[in-house]
Structure 1
Amino acid sequence: MTRHIRHAACFCALLLVALLVNATRIQVVQAGSYDDNPANRRNSIARYGQPRGDILVDGAPVTGSRDTREQLRYERTYEDGPLYAPVTGFASQEYGTTFLEHSEDDVLSGTDPMLSGFPLWNDLTRSRPLGGDVVTTLDRAAQQAAYDGLRGRKGAVAAIEPSSGRILALVSTPSYNPAALSGNDATVGRSWARLNGDADKPMLNRAVRQTYPPGSTFKVVTAAAALDAGVVTDLDAPTDSPVPYRLPGTTTSLTNASDGCEDLSVREAFRWSCNTVFAKLGVDVGVDDMAATARSFGFNDTALRIPFSVAQSTFDSSLDRAQLALSSIGQYNTRATPLQMAMVSAAVANNGQLRQPYLVERIIRAGGATVSTAGSLPVRQTMYPATAARLKELMTEVVTEGTGTKAAIPGATVGGKTGTAQHGIGNAGTPYAWFVSWAQGERDLEAKVAVAVVVEDAEADRGEISGGGDAAPIARAVMEAVLNSRSQSGG
């Protein structure tokens, strides 16, 4: 009898070992394949089983989480969803995440190891800490001013603090409410189809994901290249610039929107935005120096992230002289995002130094402790400081007595450049209205904000559309909001 008991005990022990081996195989060796199996809903249940961390603007959350009491328990909510959609993006149980909800998903969902003081314990127990919060660089007043200024028209605004690269406003209109995509019921599917089928593309982030011909705002880059290369040494000297200007090697003539541009000085040509002067100036500078200057401002950069990716702004470096002439006035293949043109303006305002723009100031745990900060970001010299000083002078004169007077702010120094970009077959489309600018308060030692505005469907007859008329007032409102908020905070 004892022998039979021993055999039964050994057999039971073998069964136990086999069970442990199989459990180890399933839970350790094959854990990855089970985790990744579409039929496994445990990850989704865990992901939505606790509130998501929040995205903060001026210390207050613009996101939240709603307890549905369902299996996927918490849905994302948004405060002023359309206002902040180009920044937050959406967090959808059906369609994933975009923008900050995507780039900071590990933090917001609580899976980032830096949120836990005991990451190994969390790995063993398969638990996750509460989601962390993402503190943005946005200025709430500037964001609201930009959104109100566009009034639902197609367009975008980007604003940067020149000395740091902090993004103060990022607006794209028309917009949408990300909350419409948060859940997983039938209404979410209908909202998704409606938004994707909308001809106005409300989910397109025009501030960072859409490129436009920058038109005459690109003359800031052309002027910088000409001054740095020594092609222009005296801003007040007459230029040898005929009107009309025949594009080199062609029979095509370039004209101006205003009269009196023939042989005009660079100062006056910049003030009144003479195409003929700057097209010829770009040809005189040459494609290599023009391309190098454009690159220094950020054109042709494929790696810019803020932290989500930004569409590449382009300046073609394989051009003939006629194409170079058009490219030098922001036409032909030259394309830029509003963020890129805000970077151009910021570099001028910051003595030629360009700080890499960024949108996330710091990451904090649910308890409020800071776990990471933006830190010091790269800076590059886009032009000589003397060149930047002369461009600041030119841009200031555009606002005081040129095409950008609608951007003037009493008691502040404001520099700007208007632009009207042609597009469409045979330039038949309604031109885009551009304005780039910067502002420095009366008591400030440096410029506090640089702005770029583009309006796709300006409210004017074709012949009246201009950056000075349509985009400059929006830029002024954003700059005023920043200057006022900085003076109130003592910044």
Structure 2
Amino acid sequence: MTPYIRRAAVLLVVLLAALLVNAVRIQIIQAGPYDGNPANRRHDIARYGQPRGDILVGGRPVTGSTDSGQRLRHERTYTNGPLYAPVTGFASQVYGTTFLENAEDGVLSGTDPMLATVPLWNDLSRTRSSGGDVVTTVRAAAQRAAYEGLGGRKGAVAAIDPSTGEILALVSSPSYDPGRLSGSGRKAADAWASLNAAKDKPMLNRAIRQTYPPGSTFKVVTAAAALDSGTVTDVDARTDSPDPYRLPGASTSLSNEVEGCADASLRYAFEWSCNTVFARLGVTTGARRMTRTAEGFGFNDSGVRIPSGVARSNFDTSPDKARLALSSIGQYNTRATPLQMAMVSAAVANGGSVPSPRLVERTATAGGTTVRQSGSRSLRQAMSAGTAARLRELMVDVVEGGTGRSAAIPGAQVGGKTGTAQHGVDNAGTPYAWFVSWAQAATDTVPAVAVAVVVEDASAVREDISGGGSAAPIARAVMRAVLKS
């Protein structure tokens, strides 16, 4: 019997070893594929088994969590959801996450390794930390001023600190309540279908994901290229600019909405937005220099993140002269997000340096200990400091005596540029109203805020379509809110 017992014992040891090897294979080697399998619900159950961390504005949470008692227990809630939707995005058990809810999901859900008290502890113990918090750079007063200024009209506002790149307001209108998408029941499904079918696209973040022809606000870029290249050396000297101006190699001519643009100086052309002067300046400066300056401001850069991705703003790199003329006044294929145009204004206010825009000040554990601290940095130098100083002077002229007078703030220095962008087949659509600006309090040494506003559905009355009539008052309200805070 002893040999048989020995053989049976050896067989049992072999079988036990095989079981152990198989367990190691499943639990360690193949753990990733099993964890990522859509049929594995344990990950989702664990993910929603604890409250999600919060997104904070001005030190106060604008998000929360509620215990639904369902299998996926904790559902996301939002305070003033439509106001902050372009900042927070949504977190849904069914439809995933967007914007900060997505970009900072590791911190908010508690899976970020930096939240663990002991390094690698969560990986070894297969547990997760409590959800951490995301502290934003948004100013509540500026956000509300932008939201109320748009008043439900289609459009967007982006405001940043020119020195640090901190995003002070980010508004898209019309908006929606992201809390409607929380949960996994029929109510969330109906909300998803309704929001996606809505004609006005309330879930589209127009501030960072929609590009528009920037119209005359792009003349800030054209003026920078002309001054830096030496095409213009004296902003008060007359230019050789006929009115109307026939596009090179084409039978089409450009005209102006105001008088006095024939051979006008750069100062007059900027203050009163003469299309003929800037179209000719773009052609004279040349495509290569215009492209270099536009890209210096951030056009054609698909890598901008705040930390959510930002749509690429466009400036054609090799247009013919007629198209270059149109591109130089913010038409043809020139397109920009409101955030991009806020960066243009910020560069003027910041001595020519384009700040890297950022929406997150820091991330922290549930107990408030900082996990990551963001810092200000410059993306690139768009123009010389001397050119930036001259552009600040020109933008102040626009507000003090030109098309942007409705943006003036008593006791503060404000610079701006209006814009009216044509669009649609044969330019039949209602023009977009634009305004870009910056403001500096009398007691400050540098500007505190740069703003870009676009209104898609401005009044059909010409005087109200202009950036000065529709967009400038919104910019003024945002700038005033920042200066007061």
TM range (shorter): over 0.9
Shift of 1:148: 0.3
Evaluate the alpha carbon distance shift between residue 51 and residue 464 of structure 1 in structure 2; reply closer, same or farther with a 3 A threshold.
closer
Alignment of 1:82-93 (within 5 A): 82-93=82-93
For 1:362, the equivalent position in structure 2 comes to 362
User: Residues 389-427 of structure 1: CA distance to partner in whole angstroms, max 9, x if unpaired?
Assistant: 110000001000000000000000000000000000111
User: Residues 156-184 of structure 1: CA distance to partner in whole angstroms, max 9, x if unpaired?
Assistant: 00001000110100000000010111110
Q: TM-score scaled to structure 2, two decimals?
A: 0.98
Aligned residue identity for 2:333 = N
For 1:303, the equivalent position in structure 2 comes to 303
User: Residues 9-44 of structure 1: CA distance to partner in whole angstroms, max 9, x if unpaired?
Assistant: 555444433332232222122222221222110000
Alignment of 1:473-484 (within 5 A): 473-484=473-484
> Separation in 1 of the partners of 2:240 and 2:21?
86
Aligned residue identity for 1:382 = A
- Native 8 Å contact 1:115 1:365 kept in 2: yes
For 2:250, the equivalent position in structure 1 comes to 250
> Separation in 2 of the partners of 1:128 and 1:322?
60
In structure 1, stretches of 5+ residues that fail to align are: 486-491
> Separation in 1 of the partners of 2:230 and 2:12?
91
Alignment of 1:314-393 (within 5 A): 314-393=314-393
For 1:210, the equivalent position in structure 2 comes to 210
For 1:172, the equivalent position in structure 2 comes to 172
For 2:63, the equivalent position in structure 1 comes to 63
> Separation in 2 of the partners of 1:17 and 1:294?
66
Q: Secondary structure at the match of 2:248?
A: coil
Q: Secondary structure at the match of 2:283?
A: helix
For 1:184, the equivalent position in structure 2 comes to 184
- Native 8 Å contact 2:63 2:79 kept in 1: yes
Q: Which runs of 4+ in 1 moved over 6 A?
A: 1-4
For the pair 1:425 / 2:421, whether they are aligned, the reply is: no
For 1:103, the equivalent position in structure 2 comes to 103
For 1:41, the equivalent position in structure 2 comes to 41
> Separation in 2 of the partners of 1:146 and 1:175?
12
> Separation in 2 of the partners of 1:379 and 1:18?
57
Q: Secondary structure at the match of 1:454?
A: strand
> Separation in 1 of the partners of 2:312 and 2:103?
18
> Separation in 2 of the partners of 1:397 and 1:208?
29
Shift of 1:236: 1.0
User: Residues 449-477 of structure 1: CA distance to partner in whole angstroms, max 9, x if unpaired?
Assistant: 00000000013424641000000000000
Aligned residue identity for 2:118 = F
> Separation in 2 of the partners of 1:179 and 1:357?
27
Q: Secondary structure at the match of 2:187?
A: helix
For 2:413, the equivalent position in structure 1 comes to 413
For the pair 1:285 / 2:285, whether they are aligned, the reply is: yes
User: Residues 34-58 of structure 1: CA distance to partner in whole angstroms, max 9, x if unpaired?
Assistant: 2122211000001111111111111
Shift of 1:117: 2.3
For 2:21, the equivalent position in structure 1 comes to 21
Alignment of 1:135-174 (within 5 A): 135-174=135-174
RMSD: 1.3
- Larger mean CA deviation between 303-312 and 369-378 belongs to 369-378
User: Residues 212-251 of structure 1: CA distance to partner in whole angstroms, max 9, x if unpaired?
Assistant: 0000000001111111011111111111111111111111
> Separation in 2 of the partners of 1:356 and 1:49?
37
- Native 8 Å contact 1:420 1:432 kept in 2: yes
- Native 8 Å contact 1:360 1:374 kept in 2: yes
Shift of 1:122: 1.7
In structure 2, stretches of 5+ residues that fail to align are: none
> Separation in 2 of the partners of 1:253 and 1:121?
70
Shift of 1:210: 0.4
Q: Secondary structure at the match of 1:44?
A: helix
- Native 8 Å contact 1:137 1:359 kept in 2: yes
For the pair 1:271 / 2:252, whether they are aligned, the reply is: no
Q: TM-score scaled to structure 1, two decimals?
A: 0.96
Shift of 1:4: 6.3
Aligned residue identity for 1:233 = T
Aligned residue identity for 1:472 = A
Q: Secondary structure at the match of 1:472?
A: helix
Aligned residue identity for 1:314 = N
- Larger mean CA deviation between 24-33 and 406-415 belongs to 24-33
> Separation in 2 of the partners of 1:324 and 1:22?
67
Q: Secondary structure at the match of 1:114?
A: helix
> What is the aligned-residue identity percentage?
70
Q: Secondary structure at the match of 2:416?
A: strand
> Separation in 1 of the partners of 2:480 and 2:464?
25
Q: Secondary structure at the match of 1:194?
A: helix
- Native 8 Å contact 2:165 2:376 kept in 1: no
> Separation in 2 of the partners of 1:247 and 1:17?
83
- Native 8 Å contact 2:458 2:464 kept in 1: no
For 1:452, the equivalent position in structure 2 comes to 452
- Native 8 Å contact 1:431 1:462 kept in 2: no
